[in-house]
Amino acid sequence: MSVSHAQLKAFHAVAVHGSFTQAAERLFLTQPAISDQVRKLEERFGVLLFHRNKRAVRLTDLGERLLAITQRLFVIQAEAEELLQDSRALLTGTLTLAVDAPVHVLPQIARFCERYPGISVKIETGNTDESLFRLYNYQADLALLGRDVDDERLLSLPLPDDQLLAFVARNHPWAGRESICLADLDDTPLVLRETGSVTRQTLEQEMSQAGLRIRPAIQVEGREAAREAVVVGIGVGVVSAAEFGADSRVYAMPIRDCSQRMKETLVCLKEQSSRRVVATFLDIMRESLQPGASSKNA
């Protein structure tokens, strides 16, 4: 038979304050209501917890032992309430983002960490499929995707899109060119990302529509591996403008006739969107997308 929390709370208040009247005042209840809770607890288990007389209330031996337990119980409850209140105020907690390219959200993460230093932020990198997997399996709070995903379970926040760039090693014959066209990539050794990469899918679609051939020189996992393969001269790489970054070893050129632009979308599960930590990060992202936000946040 389970113990009623309300009955234990009433017992504890009477035991601590030594009076049914004072216990009622502390719990904002009537004295008869407190007496009824304690009586029901005693009758339920066939025990006596208090010696009662007109002038005082005194614990029985069993009551003393139960008080030692309820003291620990309500200390733990108070600690739990304090933890939850701190989490609500974003004083403690964690935020995990599964991203295909961290560069798109790093300024906002920096702003979040500055405002809420008690929150531990973790970034898990992977392609769009991997990021979605983490989100759906509750391994991440938010996911940054390289393509639109039509799913009623998701709350989506689109980010600004970018053009596609080709990049080569500094000693490559193309280094120094202002731009290239898709035809330049026809039958050219290419450093391709893994299956599931949106960058690769976009390039394949563009080349196919133009009737051009893709010649894989190597397939690698991740952007860093692709960059290193290009640096050593294995082939030409392709990346979105926002993800190119700064690296003196490589040279980037716009693909001028590439019609598709790289889109990034920040998503979370709708059922998680009201969580304070998730909603707050989304608010910071929305702030950064407002006109003039870059100058205000600089």
Residue 295 pLDDT: 41
Note the pTM of the prediction, 2 decimals. 0.63
- At residue 297, does pLDDT exceed 90? no
Same domain, 238 and 270: no
Same domain, 280 and 251: no
Segment 171-192 shows an average pLDDT of 95
CATH number of the domain at 49, please. Answer: 1.10.10.10
Asked if residue 188 belongs to a domain, the reply is yes
Q: What is the mean pLDDT of the chain?
A: 90
Segment 193-199 shows an average pLDDT of 84
Residue 198 pLDDT: 83
Segment 194-209 shows an average pLDDT of 89
Asked if residue 44 belongs to a domain, the reply is yes
The number of folded domains in the chain is: 3
Same domain, 96 and 126: yes
DSSP calls for the chain: -PPPHHHHHHHHHHHHHT-HHHHHHHHT--HHHHHHHHHHHHHHHT---EEE-SS-EEE-HHHHHHHHHHHHHHHHHHHHHHHHHHHHTTSSEEEEEEES-GGGTHHHHHHHHHH-TTEEEEEEE--HHHHHHHHHTTS-SEEEESS----TTEEEEE---B-EEEEEETTSTTTT-S-B-GGGGTT-EEEEEPTT-HHHHHHHHHHHHTT---EEEEEESSHHHHHHHHHTTS-BEEEEHHHH---TTEEEEEBTT----B--EEEEEGGGTTSHHHHHHHHHHHHHHSTTHHHHH-
CATH number of the domain at 107, please. Answer: 3.40.190.10
Asked if residue 295 belongs to a domain, the reply is no
Band of residue 293 on the pLDDT scale cut at 50, 70, 90: low
Give the rounded percent of residues in the chain with a pLDDT score beyond 90.
66
Residue 254 pLDDT: 94
Band of residue 294 on the pLDDT scale cut at 50, 70, 90: low
Domain span at 132: 84-159+263-289
Segment 261-286 shows an average pLDDT of 92
